[in-house]
Amino acid sequence: MLKKLFDRAFGRKPATSPANAPGTQASAKVDAVAINLQVIARDGHCISRKHISPNALRVLYKLRDAGFTAYLVGGAVRDLLLQGLPKDFDVATNAHPEQVKHLFRNCRLIGRRFRLAHVHYGAEIIEVATFRGIEDDGSGARELVDGRIVRDNVYGTIEEDAVRRDFTVNALYYAIDDYSVRDYVGGFQDVRDRVLRLIGEPTRRLREDPVRMLRTARFAAKLGFSIDPAIVSAISQLKDLLNAAPAARLFDECLKMFMAGYALASFRQLWQLRLFEVLFPETALALRADPADLVLLETALTSTDQRIADDKPVTPAFLFAALLWPAVKVMAARNQQRGAEDPWDDAIHSVVSEQTSRIALPKRFSLPMQEIWSLQSRFETRQKKRVGRLLAHPRFRAAFDFLALRAHADPTLQPTLAFWLSLASGEAAASASTLGDLPTAADGEALSPPKKRRRRRRKPRLDANQTAGAGDHDAG
């Protein structure tokens, strides 16, 4: 079966042929990278136009009809070869952004660092990038700071564009003229071998853009590919460069790693590559000290992945609450030892300020995250009035789900969870819970029932409409 799928994906014989396209030398070097163009004909791969977004095809044809060259490129080609569904469709062309804008009425130019054309079709955006060049033309269009590319609007040939991309598997071009796949740097074979290899010398490519280290973890997780050992060793030397990466970009990368259905695998890759400790240093220390925190975090990540698979909403507030909770706990314990008046509040504030300077978590997520944490201590109360107030709190649901997460990792919290679960009208709450797939108090016989069911004036409602979970607690 697997073999059949594989043959279908790549064709029975890899019908590659060396290039004889004009302007392409079969074995040239561009920017110290060997270019060896292989053209994989239509019968040598599985990409069919019917799997390509009609809007992307529209863009490709229109550019071609206007006399430009244009290819589908990057993740879409890679994912189509793997028989996956591309998230989006990117186009690379020799047309300059202004020329693209001129051709499409529904086009907007975006980006300062990397100027790009976005062609809008309703909710779908086709990203059109002009081939990036190698040579700095001295115009200031490319800007480097300490070897890092901070701006790159130098345009060039397709060969130059290929070697400027990150991984070989991300540098494949699909041509609409003859439906071939054009491979300049060996990406087609690397897709077959399921291996991530950076184009060019790994330490240089990672210095140029340290976020590529996170992209390594992300693609290894998403695609289940192995990582070229040369990248692993380069990352071990250079991981601290990530500290200098812009906080906003790190937040974006975190979303891509943790909110796209492969959060657990991403976490494990980050951990193995020792990048997690650069992104979340306090959490990493806490996880080493207390394996229960690892259970909590991995459970949260698994549950996030499950919700995405079930097409349920997820929010970074809940996810970051789980990612940083171990750090908050350690810090609160330290504050307590020092005799601080408000050990938890102080811990929450210092973790948030330290972490947001590293990863730019927007306030619309960090505020609900802090509320989720702050409410945890209030679950200890049994006072009628306070219980009622907590049940009516707008963030109760999220905080309750977080309690369930904590109780999963720490059985001593199960009686507390059972108490609140019974108040929050039992079964409906359990089935609507984010952590509905976790063994919560509702299905644990070992749990002690709440001692006494309190009478309340107002029955709190937690019905199925009031869905819970990582996605429903966005304050925004």
165 binds, among ligand ATP, Mg ion, none (CB under 5 to 8 A by kind): ligand ATP
Cβ-contact 276, 239 below 8 angstroms? no
Closest approach of Mg ion to the CB of residue 125, in Å: 11
Cβ-contact 254, 280 below 8 angstroms? no
User: What is the CA 245 to chain-centroid distance, rounded?
Assistant: 16
Q: Which residue is nearest to ligand ATP (CB)?
A: 75
161 binds, among ligand ATP, Mg ion, none (CB under 5 to 8 A by kind): none
Paired tokens of 21: 């396209």
Closest CA to 214 of 260, 253, 164: 253
Looking at beta carbons only, is 252 or 345 nearer to ligand ATP?
Answer: 252
Host H or E run for residue 423: helix 414-423
Cβ-contact 182, 71 below 8 angstroms? yes
The stretch near ligand ATP (CB under 6 A) out of 5-13, 62-70, 135-143, 209-217 is: 209-217
Looking at beta carbons only, is 72 or 287 nearer to Mg ion?
Answer: 72
How far apart CA 271 and CA 285 sit, in angstroms, is 12
Question: Which residues are CB-neighbours of 230 under 8 A, at least 6 positions away?
Answer: 197, 198, 202
Q: Give the one residue of 12, 87, 204, 461 binding ligand ATP; rule: CB under 6 A.
A: 87
* Interface of this chain with ligand ATP, residues 88 to 107, rule: CB under 6 A: 90
Q: How far is CA 124 from CA 83, 173, 411, in A?
A: 21, 21, 46
97 binds, among Mg ion, ligand ATP, none (CB under 5 to 8 A by kind): none
Closest approach of Mg ion to the CB of residue 220, in Å: 16
Q: Does 74 bind ligand ATP (CB under 6 A)?
A: yes
The stretch near ligand ATP (CB under 6 A) out of 50-58, 207-215, 272-280, 428-436 is: 207-215
* Interface of this chain with ligand ATP, residues 300 to 359, rule: CB under 6 A: none
Closest approach of ligand ATP to the CB of residue 209, in Å: 5
Looking at beta carbons only, is 46 or 296 nearer to ligand ATP?
Answer: 46
Binding mask 68-107 for Mg ion (x = CB under 5 A): -------x------------x-------------------
Q: In terms of DSSP bridges, do strands 124-130 and 172-175 run parallel, antiparallel, or are they unpaired? A: unpaired
**On the CB side of 441, how many CA atoms lie within 13 Å of its CA?**
29
Phi, psi (deg, nearest 5) at residue 225 = -85, 155
The stretch near ligand ATP (CB under 6 A) out of 6-14, 206-214, 264-272, 303-311 is: 206-214
DSSP string, 187-237: HHHHHHHTEE-BSS-HHHHHHH-THHHHHHHHHHHHH--EE-HHHHHHHHH
Closest approach of ligand ATP to the CB of residue 366, in Å: 25
Paired tokens of 163: 């070697």
Q: How far is CA 168 from CA 5, 71, 260, in A?
A: 22, 16, 22
Looking at beta carbons only, is 84 or 415 nearer to ligand ATP?
Answer: 84
Closest approach of ligand ATP to the CB of residue 81, in Å: 12
Looking at beta carbons only, is 118 or 334 nearer to Mg ion?
Answer: 118
Looking at beta carbons only, is 90 or 159 nearer to ligand ATP?
Answer: 90
Q: Give the one residue of 211, 286, 369, 399 binding ligand ATP; rule: CB under 6 A.
A: 211
What is the size of the binding site for Mg ion (CB under 5 A)? 2
Paired tokens of 40: 């994989």
How far apart CA 122 and CA 104 sit, in angstroms, is 14
Closest approach of ligand ATP to the CB of residue 170, in Å: 3
156 binds, among Mg ion, ligand ATP, none (CB under 5 to 8 A by kind): none
Q: Does 200 bind ligand ATP (CB under 6 A)?
A: no
Q: Does 269 bind ligand ATP (CB under 6 A)?
A: no
DSSP string, 13-47: S--EEE---TT--TTEEETTEEE--EEE-GGGS--
What is the size of the binding site for ligand ATP (CB under 6 A)? 11
212 binds, among ligand ATP, Mg ion, none (CB under 5 to 8 A by kind): ligand ATP
User: Which positions are catalytic?
Assistant: 88, 90, 166
Cβ-contact 209, 215 below 8 angstroms? no
Closest approach of Mg ion to the CB of residue 70, in Å: 17
Q: Give the one residue of 160, 166, 183, 472 binding ligand ATP; rule: CB under 6 A.
A: 166
160 binds, among ligand ATP, Mg ion, none (CB under 5 to 8 A by kind): none
Q: What's the full length of the chain, in residues?
A: 476
The stretch near ligand ATP (CB under 6 A) out of 97-105, 163-171, 282-290, 409-417 is: 163-171
Closest CA to 461 of 401, 391, 357: 391
Name residue, tokens 């970009």: 249
β-bridge partners, 465? none
Q: Does 212 bind ligand ATP (CB under 6 A)?
A: yes
* Interface of this chain with ligand ATP, residues 11 to 70, rule: CB under 6 A: none
Cβ-contact 180, 38 below 8 angstroms? no
What residue ranges bind ligand ATP (CB under 6 A)?
74-75, 87, 90, 165-166, 170-171, 209, 211-212
What residue ranges bind Mg ion (CB under 5 A)?
75, 88
